[in-house]
Chain A
Amino acid sequence: MSNPTIVVVGNGMVGYKFCERLIAKSSRFNIIVFGEEPRHAYDRVHLSEYFNGKSADDLSLSSLSWYAENGITLHLGDPIQEINRTSQTIHSLLGLTIQYDYLVLATGSSAFVPDIPGVEKDGVFVYRTIEDLELIKTYAANAKNGAVMGGGLLGLEAAKALIDLGIEETHVIEFAPRLMPRQIDSAGSGMLQSKLKELGLNVHLNKSTSYIGGDHKIEAIHFNDESVLAIDMLVISAGIRPRDELAKLAGLHTGTRGGIIVNEKMQTSDDRIFAIGECALYEGMIYGLVAPGYEMADIVVAQLTEGSKLFYGYDMSTKLKLIGVDVASFGDAFVTEPDCRTIVFEDTHKGVYKRINITTDGKYLLGGILIGDADAYNILLQTVNNKIILPPNPEDLILGSRGGAENEGTGIMSLPDDALICSCEAVNKASICSAVSELGVSSIDGMKKCTKAGTGCGGCIPLVKDLIAGTMKANGQYIKNVICEHFEYSRQELYDLIKINKLKNYDLVLDHFGKGDGCEVCKPVVASIMSSLWNDVIVKQDTIQDSNDRFLANIQKGGTYSVVPRIPGGEITPDKLIVLGQVAKKYGLYTKITGGQRIDMFGAHVNDLPLIWEELIDAGFESGHAYGKALRTVKSCVGSTWCRFGLHDSVSFAIEIEDRYKGIRAPHKLKGGVSGCIRECAEAQSKDFGIIATEKGWNLYVCGNGGSKPQHAQLLANDIDKETLVKYLDRFLMFYIKTADPLTRTATWLNKMDGGMAYLKNVVINDSLGLVSQLEDEMQSLINTYHCEWKEVVDNPDLRKRFAHFVNAPEEKDPSVQFVPMREQVKAKW
C-alpha cells in the first residue's frame, strides 16, 4: 500500500508546526502543503521586529530547503479554491488537483475590518502579513501622524511598529473603556496607559469611529462624539476573522460568527478533514494565540499516528512585553469579590500594578494581572495551574518576601511533578528534575538536547535554570560558578591565580589550572584577565581573542569590519572631521554617528584595516576600542564653556576621564558620561559611571545601564572635588575589573553583590576591605602602560600580515563580500 497523502492547507506558524511534528513522529506520510502567501512560514508573533531590522529571512521558521529535505512538497502563492469531499480532492488556483487521504486546514485568520465609511481610502492598512508591513513601511516614510484602531494585544504591537518607523505622533484608538480588554482590568489598563504615554503613545478610549475623512487618502478620523483626529495613516487591528470560507464552500459545519467547528480530535464534520489554529472553533472559542495552535497540531499528529491525545481547551494566560512594558494576565484574571478575595498592589511612581485573585478561604490562587513588572508570572501561573496551597501571607506572592522566615511554600521546588514547565514542548517538572538527577544534565544546553525544554519560545528558560539549580542543590551537589568545562574556577579565582603566578600566556594558564584544549568561552576570559593585569599588546596572542579583538574592529554582517576612532568626549576639530570623511570615501565606507558621540565607518575589508588605520593615526587618531570589552566613550554635554546653564566644564572633564581610562580592558564594555548641570544632557545616569556637575562640585553615579534592561546609575558620592572623584572612580573600576563575572556589566554586577550599594560605598569610600591603595596602584599601572593597539599593528609588519582574508592570496579581498546602494551610501548585500 502506498503512503497516505496528507494535504495541509495553509503555511502559517501552525501549519508549519504540524509538518514539523508529523515528520518527527512518522515518515510514512506523503505531505503536500499549499500556502497562499508567496513566502514560506514565518514568525508572525514577532512581526514587529521586522521594523527593527530583522529581515523576512530572520523571521522564517525554517529554510526553504527544509521542506525538500524532509520530503514535503510545498506550493507557495497557490491558494486552494475548492475541496471535493466526495472524490477527496482539492483544486488549487494554479490548476493543481490532488487527492488526499487526510486534509488539514490551517488557514488561519484575516484581520477584521469594521464596516466604516472610508476604510477603502489610501493610507488605511491592516497588520497581518509581511506584505502588509511592507506597505505600511513605504507609506510611513511620508507620514507624520499615525493611528492604530484597536487597543488589544495586536493593536499595541502595531503601534510599536509605527513608533519604530519614526512616526512622530502615534495614537491608539479603542472602542472599549480600557486597553487590552480581554486580558486586563481597568486599573491595570490605567497603569499601562500612563506608561505608554511616557513612551510617546497617545491613547484614546471609549471612541467609536463614524467615518474616515479625506479625498482618496486618509486625512482624519471622525468619531461619533463629534471629535476629530487628524492623521496621515491608520492601521486597523480590530480583531481577527477565522478563514473559514473554503470550509464553508465544502459544506463543513462552521460557527455563526465564523470558525470551522472541530471536536476534541480536531476533526471537522468530515472525519477525514481536520482544522487547527485560528481557523478552528472548539466549543465556541477561537484560540488566537500560537501555543494552543501548536497543541492542536500535536492532537492531529496523534490522531494520524495512533496516539490518543485529545484537546480540552487551552490556558490563555499570556505574558508579553508591549513597547517595553511587561504585561501579563493569567488564570481567571477578572473574577471579583464576593466570589474571591482580591489583593492589589499599585505603585504609580514606578508604574507597577499587580492584582491576584484568591479563593475566599485563602487557600488557592485563581488568577491575576501584572503590569510593569511580570517577573513573578511563571511561578504564579504554576501556582494556579497546579492548585498549590498558598502561604499564610499570599501578598508575598506579589510583594516578595519582606523579611521574616523564608517562605518555602511558593518556591519552584514545591511544584508538583506533573507541573508543565515548557508548554511549547510539553515538558513537566519531573522530566527536568530526573534529567538532572539521573542523567547528570547541569546546563540549559544539555537540558535542551535531552528534553527539548526551552527550545520553543524560550519563555520557560529562567524556570528551567532555577529547576536545574534547585535539583542539584537538593541532591547535595555543589553548584560552582565556573568559567567552562576547561576551568573549574570562577573568573575572580582565576584572576587571582594568574596574578599570583604571573602567567602571561594562555597555554601556560591552561596547563597550570585547566584541562583540555580550551574553547571560545575561556579563551577570551583569560585574554581579558591577562589584559587587565599586564596590559600587553593583545594581538600578540591573537587566536585567544574574540574575532573583534583579534582584528581590532567590529565584525559585521557579510564579514566586513567597522572602524571607530576615539573622539574623546565627542569633541573633534574640523580638520579631523575632514580626514574621517576622506578616509571613508577612499575605502568606500558607510558612515554613521554613534550613540557615544563618535563616528563609525562600516564595510571595511579585513585587508584594508591596517591601511585605513595608518591614515587615521597619521592624522592624530587613536583606536576607539569599540571592538573590545573596554572603555568605549565618555559622553559629554557642551558644558559651561558654551552652555548658558552649565555649571562646570563637562567637556574638558570628559576628555580627561576618557584619556585616563582608554584602552583598559574589563569583564565587559564600559561607558561613561559627564553632564555640566542637572539637566543631564549627557545622559550620564545611564552609564557605568556618570558624573554630574553641582553648585559645590561633582556627583558621581555608578552602575547604570542602557540596553535591554535599562537601569539608572546610583549615587556613590555627592558634591566632591575632581581629585576625590577620580580617586573613587579608580577604585570603583578596578574593584569591578577584579571581581565581576565574565561578560557582566557593572549594573548586573551590583545587582548580584551581597549588600548592594551600601557595600560598594563601604569598599570604595570607607575602605572596609583595606584595598583602596592597592586598587589605586593597580589602576595607575594600567594607565601608565596605555598604548594604541592600532599603532602597534601599523608599525609592525608581522602583525600587519595577519590582516588578510586569504592566506595564500594576501592581496585578494573576499569575493563573497558585496554591497548594494542605500541612501547615497552602501550596505552589505544580505
Chain B
Amino acid sequence: METTIAIEWILACYADDVPENGGACVKHGNEQIAVYNFSRRGEWYATQNLCPHKQQMVLSRGMIGSSGEACEPKVACPFHKKTFSLLTGECLGEDDFKITTYPVKVIDGKVYIGIAA
C-alpha cells in the first residue's frame, strides 16, 4: 500500500544567504534544520542540524562533498568528521547513525524546505 504524506513547504531563507558549497542553519519553531547550497552541482539539500554522534548542533557548519564513484553527496560533522549522505541521511562510516533529510526547492531566489505536515 502506498501512503501519501502531506508536505508543508516552509520559507527557510534566501538563496543568497547560504554560502556556496556550504550550509547554514534554519530556525523552524523549536527545530534547527541545516540547509546546504551545493552550488557546484546546482543542488540543494536539507537535514537535521543535530549530529547524532555526540548530539552537537553543528551539521550546518560542516564541509560538504561527494563520496564514491556515484558521487553520493555528503556532509561531514565538524566535530569528529562523521559523514552522512545528503540523499538518505545514512552515516557513511561504519556507524549506525542516521539523520533526517528534508526536500528543498528554490523559487525566485527563495529557499523552501518540505516538512511533513
Contact = CB atoms under 8 A, between A and B. Distances in A.
B12 interface: yes
B40 A543 contact: no
Interface stretch (B1-9, B56-64, B99-107): B56-64
B94 A455 contact: yes
Given A507-B40, A547-B78, A520 B27 contact: no
A519 B17 contact: no
A507 B81 CA distance: 21
Contacts of B41: 517
Contacts of B66: 486, 516-519
B63 A544 contact: yes
Interface in A2-54: none
Nearest to B12: A808
B94 A558 contact: no
Contacts of A547: 58, 61-62, 78
B117 interface: no
A542 interface: yes
A455 B95 CA distance: 11
Contacts of B73: 517
Contact of B27 (A486, A523, A544, A812): A812
A536 interface: no
B116 interface: no
A513 interface: no
Interface string A786-830: 000000000000000010011111001011110000000000000
B65 interface: yes
Contacts of B18: 807
In terms of DSSP, what is the predominant structure of the interface of chain B? Answer: strand
Interface residues of A, number: 38
A763 B61 CA distance: 41
B67 A519 contact: yes
Contact of B63 (A516, A523, A559, A816): A523
A543 B93 contact: no
A448 B95 CA distance: 11
Contacts of B23: 543
Given A517-B65, A519-B74, A519-B76, A559 B58 contact: yes
A558 B17 contact: no
Nearest to B54: A557
A542 B58 contact: no
A542 B71 contact: no
B22 interface: yes
B24 A807 contact: yes
Given A555-B78, A807-B35, A520 B94 contact: no
A723 to B, nearest CB: 42
A551 B61 CA distance: 9
A806 B56 CA distance: 15
A543 B57 contact: no
B115 interface: no
Given A543-B63, A808-B13, A520 B26 contact: no
A485 interface: yes
Contacts of B56: 557-559
A519 B63 contact: yes
Nearest to B83: A520
A512 interface: no
A806 B27 contact: yes
A448 B41 CA distance: 31
Most chain B beta carbons < 10 A, residue from A448, A805, A814: A805
Nearest to B28: A808
Contacts of B76: 519-520
Interface string B73-95: 11010110101000000000110
A449 interface: yes
A15 B39 CA distance: 50
Contacts of B25: 805-807, 814
Nearest to B70: A516
A472 to B, nearest CB: 20
Given A542-B22, A543-B19, A807-B26, A550 B61 contact: yes
A326 interface: no
Contacts of B65: 486, 516-520, 522-523
Most chain B beta carbons < 10 A, residue from A449, A542, A809, A816: A816
Nearest to A448: B94
A445 interface: yes
A807 B71 contact: no
Contacts of A548: 78
A571 interface: no
Most chain A beta carbons < 10 A, residue from B26, B27, B32, B68: B27
A169 interface: no
A449 B95 CA distance: 9
A546 interface: yes
Nearest to A802: B19
A616 to B, nearest CB: 22
Contacts of B67: 485, 519
Contact of A806 (B26, B58, B63): B26
Given A519-B66, A543-B63, A809 B27 contact: yes
Nearest to A548: B78
A61 to B, nearest CB: 14
A573 B94 CA distance: 51
Nearest to A543: B22
10 contacts: A517-B64, A517-B71, A518-B40, A519-B67, A520-B65, A543-B64, A548-B78, A559-B56, A808-B17, A812-B27
Which 9 A/B pairs are nearest by Cβ-Cβ distance? Answer: A543-B22, A547-B78, A519-B65, A520-B76, A517-B66, A807-B24, A520-B63, A806-B27, A516-B66
